[in-house]
Structure 1
Amino acid sequence: MASYNAISTEKLLRLIGTPKGPVVIDVRDEEDFAAQPLLLPASFRRPYASVQQWGADYRGRWVVVVCQKGKKLSEGVAAWLRNAGAEAETLEGGFEAWQAAGLPLVPVAALPGENANGGTVWVTRARPKIDRIACPWLIRRFVDPAATFLFVAAPEVEAVADRFGAMPFDVENVFWSHRGEDCTFDAMVKEFGLTFPALQHLSLIVRAADTDRLGLVPEAAGLLAASLGLSRMFADDLEQLEAGMTLYDAFYRWARDATQEKHEWVSHVAKKAKSNE
């Protein structure tokens, strides 16, 4: 029987990728993790045995704890986190339930190394437009919420990556870049195993807008216009990224929940009363 402090896979699936979703912490033991080095989207690992030391980091935050089967390790860690002031739940059925449902899992091998603060570091060209905002959004919402992004002069991207331990993206001759007709966003969705249907839809829009093939999908022109507008509004690339996060949050929720919804003025006009004549 599931704990009353447990969350279902279905509910967590709806929350992942949204800005107000919970922190998801994987506490599987080393043996289970080594056997399946995969992570739930947007989750990261912490050692269950030292929760008394790191638990206070999550005071006041909503946390979902994942272990192999949703039993002793996640129950114990969630209990410690609640003692530390967090709102902590376990994932019902744990990692095994998520995997059995065929839900997306991120291969750890696809992730770049973490920095001293625990998050991945990425570097790309300054003055972003589409891919260079879409990709950071994807990473923060579905891969690594603690990721850091560096925007530098285009000729220096690879040198900065080398000197500062960052992963270059959306430049020529690097792994995370355009591939054939796909843009960098497409490459990341595929490499990270993010098989969410809404992301597949959003990928097409980003690809069309980023590669000047606006005829692929009607929404591409709107994304291009909004992206170019943001680039004119902000001189600071990081401020532009923060504004762009909201833009892509909106596109993702539309792709997930509202593609069939229509809006027209006529539906808001009050119907005239029938005449008695």
Structure 2
Amino acid sequence: MPAPNAITPDKLARLVASVGAPHIIDLRDTPEKAIPGSLFPDHSDPIRWGYGAGSAAVIIDADGSNAAASAAAILRSERVAAEVLEGGFAAWTASALPTVSLGHLPPRHEDGRTWWVTRARPKVDRIACPWLIRRFVDPEARFLFVAPGEVLTVATQQRAEPFDVADEGVFWNHRGERCTFDVMVEAFGLETHKPLVRLAAIVRGADTDRLDLVPEAAGLLAISLGLSRIYSDDHAQLEAGMAVYDALYRWCRDAQGEKHNWSSHQPARGKVPA
């Protein structure tokens, strides 16, 4: 049983990448790997981190020592539901839970966020990649959508990381039969996380017109094309698409074995549903 105001690695793992996930705040200096979705404050005063009353946070340090406990206590005085990760990052890795590699993370801007730029009018990959980044790499990442011919210019001017661009010099791009989402999953060290591997196959099939790869690819393509026609604003489309990928990820993680047909949700004969 965890200590008061502490959360176990297994329990936090169920919250990672979920819609209602707490702020995961990592206090370690220059880590190479982190819990997916972690944030890294640029100063030591928790009150200045900007988390308001009613929000939730989990504080991470190397081993669950006093640094995390002190920060969590201060946040709780601000009415933030703050817990520490029991055993810290060491306990997380000892439990063989997924981590994100930070070596390919672009430099952060003055606002503390990573900036990314890609082509306007996204369909599949250019919605899936921002979802992956926000849920697993940088929850506060900023995305810029511009005309195809402007991507590299804006990338240079705004120090934004280009992705999914028809240019061989761009790191985040298609490689052979793999789409940009595949490349990101591998480069961020998430290729052992089975739900993301399942989701990557769906994205690849929809994005590269390989609908034979998995049955769900055709559905994702249809939904993606529909969203692109509903929304003329790329950022509004991204927000709508986030919910689509949230749902697909949860299906990949928890619901593949569940069936739904005329009889699967009917009460057993002779029984009155509760």
Per the normalisation by structure 1, the TM-score is: 0.92
Match of 1:245 in 2: 242
Give yes or no for contact 1:55–1:80 (8 Å, CA) kept in 2.
no
Tell me the amino acid that sits aligned with residue 183 of structure 1.
C
Give the one of 230, 234, 239 matched to 1:233: 230
Q: Deviations over 1:175-234 (max 9, x none)?
A: 001111110000111111123211010000000110000001000000000000000100
Displacement of 1:101 after TM fit? 1.7
Tell me the amino acid that sits aligned with residue 184 of structure 2.
M
**How far apart in 2 are the matches of 1:177 and 1:243?**
23
| Partner secondary structure for residue 65 of structure 1 | strand
**How far apart in 1 are the matches of 2:103 and 2:120?**
27
Q: Percent identity?
A: 54
Give the one of 208, 211, 214 matched to 2:208: 211
Gap runs ≥5 in structure 2: none
Aligned residues: 267
Q: Call closer, same or farther: CA 1:171–1:82 in 2, change over 3 Å.
A: same
> Which protein has the larger Cα radius of gyration, Structure 1 or Structure 2?
1
Match of 1:150 in 2: 144
Give the one of 57, 64, 71 matched to 1:70: 64
Runs of 4+ in 1 over 4 A off after TM superposition: 268-273
Match of 2:261 in 1: 264
Displacement of 1:140 after TM fit? 0.6
Q: Deviations over 1:16-63 (max 9, x none)?
A: 1111000000112x3xx4xx52221110222674234x1453432100
Give yes or no for contact 1:48–1:77 (8 Å, CA) kept in 2.
no
Give yes or no for contact 1:55–1:84 (8 Å, CA) kept in 2.
no
**How far apart in 2 are the matches of 1:163 and 1:47?**
24
Tell me the amino acid that sits aligned with residue 98 of structure 2.
P
- In the alignment, structure 1 residue 191 sits paired with structure 2 residue 192: no
**How far apart in 2 are the matches of 1:81 and 1:219?**
42
1:172-183 to 2 correspondences below 5 Å:
172=166, 173=168, 174-183=170-179
Tell me the amino acid that sits aligned with residue 18 of structure 2.
T
Q: Call closer, same or farther: CA 1:145–1:56 in 2, change over 3 Å.
A: closer
Match of 1:140 in 2: 134
Q: Call closer, same or farther: CA 1:75–1:214 in 2, change over 3 Å.
A: same
Tell me the amino acid that sits aligned with residue 40 of structure 2.
R
- In the alignment, structure 1 residue 165 sits paired with structure 2 residue 159: yes
**How far apart in 2 are the matches of 1:129 and 1:135?**
11
| Partner secondary structure for residue 150 of structure 1 | strand
**How far apart in 1 are the matches of 2:72 and 2:4?**
12
Tell me the amino acid that sits aligned with residue 51 of structure 1.
P
**Between structures 1 and 2, the one with greater helix share:** 1
Match of 1:109 in 2: 103
